[in-house]
Structure 1
């Protein structure tokens, strides 16, 4: 059996096993079988080198050290492993996946559900929990004798969702800022948290419609007719940030609000400017992470063209050790770059169209 056929077999097996599951976990999405053209060899090789770097730099505690390290960074690295198509429970990265999940659960405040030192970390960690929920077997997550006293993935995800909703209720804009108690908001942090909530909802976790509607209303208020998206506060401050425009396009799409004129304007801006453009304060790897998903959700042909350029760009900057340099250091820039490529695999539920 070839490696590609093995991946397809494992995904089909997981899907068939899910049919008989009666628990809430059965509602969580499982990886979809990749369709379309075969995965280019250069993408597979580049991705595997990146995963090798993540394997070699993961600590015994399950996280990745560095200036921006935390449960959000750990969650992004976790998603890189999940997106590879290898069996998350018995494949070659199963140990890395379990250590990452244990690290994230251990970093969560057991009372408030808050993860990390900013809502960025909370949002990305919540997204990672959502992608792992229903895919990673909790029975093998903790060493023998420890599991009974620890939260499951589903419990950690539900607690994280409640934390995000509680934070939003305190926010006058109906969105999120760096601190869970912040009274102002910005579209970058709000995007990270909202995508996490939408992924949790798709996985079967209860997320109130009111919470999604308030967050979408905030993005609508921050989107200009031109398709540009403001950063923080109320309406105003519009300038070109391909990252923010991509974030808004993505949240409109995943929230199933493609009927909004704001979605049409942001998507048009992206497709009219596939090359170049200002990434904004987040850096180019942050832009690529969101732009890959936004184009894939909104205009498949535009994504294919943009993706070909992305592959060439990343090939030229990948380091000999498999990492990617960037604004956030290797420990964060590498997962961001790999996840931009991971849309080619289409195994993560959040990457379903």
Structure 2
């Protein structure tokens, strides 16, 4: 199995999960396995990071002087025939077995115990490109992980900066002001509008040709349209300095979002990133000017009410700026812990 993960700077990491033939297997099966693995590696671009993860059923030993660059100085045991195949393959493709490059106790390196000799061996590996060894922090066996298998779980900590996914946010849906339904006149108006809309689609709802999903979509759209026409949408509880009707700031925000999407698509391009940063600075300057003008205007308005000693409009203007005070209920347990008191 293979998995290709996008990284930053327009790079990728390819993970290959595999299971090699055992030592008693036929030579044809082993040749076929390494031939398939060789073809898979050659299809991977040269700039990709490679991680080979799996049970190779091979003992590579600890002769790091002969297999320099492939083996580290902290191997385990003696190499067998399958291990020589794996070492030759890694040498051809400039790969390194990360299990052997970290100095640690044998119990953190060995992964499988032979059922007859009761000796622990290293046959599961995490293999990377020789040029990417610096990205691997540690490779070790997790002795406490129980997965109903005779192999210990192997863990490798690797430094990779994964590219964040590109999420395009659509327009936000406005919320209906359902509190207006407490008013009898608004409630009657909503009921009349809904009855009129449902009456127009009575034939389509009673028809057996339409599925249940189609009927529900018709009913839900009628409910939403009737509510939008009669009770309307929620408005903000406080006044905001941001002017949504300003064409200048809206154009700048559209340019900023467009430049941001272009930067995410090509993170290695310096021109797109510089353009995005330039537009961000322009948006920041424009919003600061808008905010300062709004606060200056509100300050003069509130000060004028204070000079006239008009406390009613003074406090109303302050409430419009800061919004209503939210009261929260905090539940507390009594000393015996058997009951809850709300305060």
Query: TM-score, with normalisation over the residues of structure 2?
Result: 0.19
Which entry has the higher C-alpha Rg, 1 or 2? 2
Task: Please state which structure has a larger fraction of its residues in helix.
Answer: 1
